[in-house]
Amino acid sequence: MTVIVIFLMLALIVEAFIEYAKSIGEGVSKGEWKTAVTQLCSIAVALVLCFATGLDVFAFVGLEFAWPWLGVALTGVFISRGSNYASDFVKRLQNVKK
């Protein structure tokens, strides 16, 4: 079971990097700076919080990286991606109310 969880977490991290690269790249190329800055701020806030608390979800499931800081950094990216999903969910709820 742990192997499946690790696989899914790493797959979500890769997906997050790809989606961020696409989204930020498109925002910059189209001059939509608000989107790019919002995404970068999401990553930055999550990274600061994870480094400040030492949160490493990979260590919780038994995956240790050769560089201890990498688990914390990837956890930050993992959490920042979740903030986008939460934001999208809130926007959809607001649209339903209207």
Provide the token pair at 98: 């209207």
Question: What one-letter code names the amino acid at 18?
Answer: I
Which residues lie below 8 Å from residue 24, measured CB to CB, with a gap of 6+?
35, 36, 39, 40
Query: For 58-64, what is the mean pLDDT?
Result: 86
pLDDT given at position 48: 97
Alpha-carbon distance of 4 to 82, in angstroms, equals 19
Please write the tens of the pLDDT for every residue from 5-55.
Answer: 788 888 888 888 888 888 888 888 888 888 888 888 989 999 999 999 999
On the question of pLDDT at 63 being above 80, the answer is yes
Q: pLDDT averaged over the chain? A: 83
